[in-house]
Structure 1
Amino acid sequence: MIIAIDGPAASGKGTLGKRLAAHYGFRHLDTGVIYRAVAKAMLDLGADLQDEARAVAVARALDPEKFGDPVLKTQAIGDAASVVSAIPAVREALINFQRQFAADPPGAVLDGRDIGTVICPDADVKIFVVADPKVRAHRRTLEARGRGEAADEALVLTDILKRDERDKNRAAAPLKCAADAHVLDNSNLDIEGGVRAAIAIIEQARATR
């Protein structure tokens, strides 16, 4: 079984994916981490983030063992990842890795911004997570401060709106809701409420298969 989680509400989405994977005994992949890892490697090299050839080479040489680096969660890396992920050749270089992860047993939960539309268009269940941008900015600010980072909520909101706009309008795999996805608005839900709502969606989908 493949569960695809997409949507602009990045804050809490990775946690949702992990919780769902644990609940069903599936593996979990936060695909955003892959692009963040490419972005960090580019920054470490001092390379131009829009250098397609260099970015593709970095993507093909990624080490999954480094996906747990806490630096990948920072706002700066997230902003850089949005630029790198807009390069079609980079996305193409990473498609097979993601699809193979999804296909391996016993099942998988993948979250990102193009899982249900591009990576796993035949996923058994697709959930598109949304939330009010101001709510997302507040959550992300708290997360950043929790990691000891200085964060201005107004600037975080500006960055969120810019990233959403950039991702919706990119040529490769734009951010959009799949026609058969279930929309989950977690503006007024904590993580527990979000997990319960997602499980309800999944169970309903399984019951009607």
Structure 2
Amino acid sequence: MNRKTPIVAIDGPVGVGKSSVARTLAEKLGFLYIDTGAMYRAVTLKAMRNDLPLHDTNTVAELARNTRLQFIRKAGILKILCDNEDVSEAIRSPEVSAAIAPVADNPAVRQHLVALQQAMGREGNIVMEGRDIGTVVFPDAEIKIYLDADPKIRAQRRYLELQAKEKEVTFEKTLQDLIERDERDANRPVGALKKTPESIVVDTSNLTQDEVIEKLYQIVMDSIR
């Protein structure tokens, strides 16, 4: 694909800080930021609210096809709208996290959302993050980055994030959930988490968020100069 402007594909496991890093990196570059995981979470939330059986692939796929998803910036903060409702906070609940697997593994849902993601990023100048951006959504992305970190460090980050939102969780439960999620993500039948041979791996275990953003910014700038 011949693009005048690049696609920055960021993949990595849960709790590695993809969303916050990708969002700030996009702002620094003047690119559009797309959080693909939020799209699957929004469909999951809507299905849960409608009491749909999440393992009913046809019903959930039809729901996804009839759901309007948008990203907007409000007061400088990126929000995701599901059928015009701001669900940015609701999709981050532990309940949605625990329920998302059958929705994310639904081939028809993934086919629909991947097509939406490709349409959003077709012209380039985007930072898109998820777990299969560099392998499935944009295998021809000009810049592929894989963020990683020690599981205990990722669990601690996630635990503090949930505590800040006044969620009743323990570190031990957060770590166990993360380990189980890593296993599921690596072995999903569709959209499994994988590094590509050309991915630039960045271990964030001992880096601050600002240091990670600066490192990625330099990677992008070196690639487009």
Superposed displacement of residue 63, structure 1 = 2.2
CA distance in 1, matches of 2:98, 2:219: 31
- The one-letter code matched in structure 1 to 2:193 is L
Q: Determine helix, strand or coil for the equivalent of 1:159.
A: helix
Please name the residue that 1:133 is paired with. Answer: 151
Q: How many residues align?
A: 206
CA contact (8 A) 1:37 1:62 kept: no
User: Higher mean Cα deviation, 169-178 or 10-19?
Assistant: 10-19
The structure-2 alpha-carbon separation of the partners of 1:149 and 1:8, relative to structure 1 and needing over 3 Å to count, comes to same
Residues 79-127 of structure 1 deviation map (CA, whole Å, 9 limit, x = unaligned) = 222331012121111111000111135x111000000000000111011
Please name the residue that 2:10 is paired with. Answer: 5
CA contact (8 A) 1:79 1:163 kept: no
CA distance in 2, matches of 1:10, 1:192: 16
Superposed displacement of residue 9, structure 1 = 4.3
Superposed displacement of residue 57, structure 1 = 1.1
Q: Could you say which structure has the higher strand fraction?
A: 2
Q: How does 1:25-36 map to 2 (within 5 A)?
A: 25-36=30-41
- Aligned with residue 211 of structure 2, among 186, 193, 202: 193
CA contact (8 A) 2:22 2:127 kept: yes
Large movers: runs of 4+ above 4 Å: none
Is 1:180 aligned to residue 180 of structure 2? no
User: Higher mean Cα deviation, 76-85 or 1-10?
Assistant: 76-85
Please name the residue that 2:100 is paired with. Answer: 81
Is 1:101 aligned to residue 120 of structure 2? yes
CA contact (8 A) 1:36 1:72 kept: yes
Q: Using the aligned pairs only, state the percent identity.
A: 34
RMSD: 1.4
- The one-letter code matched in structure 1 to 2:191 is A
CA contact (8 A) 1:20 1:199 kept: yes
Q: How does 1:24-173 map to 2 (within 5 A)?
A: 24-65=29-70, 66=81, 68-69=86-87, 70-104=89-123, 107-173=125-191
Residues 140-183 of structure 1 deviation map (CA, whole Å, 9 limit, x = unaligned) = 01000101111111111111111111111111121100111100
Superposed displacement of residue 12, structure 1 = 1.9
Superposed displacement of residue 14, structure 1 = 0.4
CA distance in 2, matches of 1:61, 1:188: 43
- The one-letter code matched in structure 2 to 1:4 is A
Which runs of 5 or more residues in structure 1 are unaligned? none
CA contact (8 A) 2:144 2:198 kept: yes
Superposed displacement of residue 11, structure 1 = 4.1
CA contact (8 A) 2:11 2:130 kept: yes
Calculate the TM-score normalised by the size of structure 1.
0.93
Q: Determine helix, strand or coil for the equivalent of 2:114.
A: helix
- The one-letter code matched in structure 2 to 1:90 is V
User: Higher mean Cα deviation, 1-10 or 23-32?
Assistant: 1-10
User: Higher mean Cα deviation, 67-76 or 118-127?
Assistant: 67-76
Q: Could you say which structure has the higher helix fraction?
A: 1
Superposed displacement of residue 13, structure 1 = 1.0
User: Higher mean Cα deviation, 48-57 or 111-120?
Assistant: 48-57
